[in-house]
Amino acid sequence: VYTPNSQDELKRLAYRMEWEDAFLSYLKELEQEKPVIFCGDLNVAATEMDIKNAKANEKNAGFTKEEREKFAVIKEKGFVDSFRMLYPDTVTYSWWSYRFKAREKNAGWRIDYFITSSALDDRLVDAGILTDVTGSDHCPVTLTVDLPFCP
């Protein structure tokens, strides 16, 4: 999934909020059939731990109160941030601006996630953020899940 960016001056924040509600509704529909795993650039650093300069970014796209609250609602509705569940105290990032040598200084944001239905909690084996992989302003995220074999 790619979550819409709220853009400069939060021009698309209202649109983003509508999108978040529609996306959560879609996820809950899917979950009626089977547990859900989704991955992508969610364009939000969910907590202060997930961004290098929290205070300086509170009014910027990707770290507004509204965006973080929508992420919290996803969790309240039965979904899990797999990396944070497995590594509750680990500070690492998945995105860095191309400006100001942000990656070199590790001044980043964790905005790329694997989110899972809580029904899969006991099947989550590992989650990773491959910070050594370069070539983009993002790095890959991984998830290992112990699922039953289905021929």
Residue 26 is among the residues annotated as catalytic for this protein = no
The catalytic residue among 2, 8, 89, 98 is 2
- Active-site residue flag, 89: no
Name every residue whose Cβ is closer than 8 Å to that of residue 140 and which is 6 or more positions away in sequence: 112, 129, 130, 133
Which residue out of 8, 15, 21, 41 is catalytically annotated? 41
What's the pTM? 0.94
What are the pLDDT digits (tens) for 89-137? 999 999 999 999 999 999 999 999 999 999 999 999 999 999 999 999 9
Q: Residue 151 — pLDDT band, cuts 50, 70, 90?
A: low
Residue 142 has pLDDT above 70, yes or no: yes
SS3 112: strand
Mean pLDDT of the chain: 96
What is the separation of C-alpha 149 from the centre of its chain, rounded to a whole number of angstroms? 28
**Torsion angle of the four alpha carbons 35, 73, 142, 150, in this order, in degrees rounded to the nearest 10:** 0
* CA gap 35, 61 in Å, rounded: 30
Q: HSE of 69 in the Cβ direction (CA atoms, 13 Å)?
A: 8
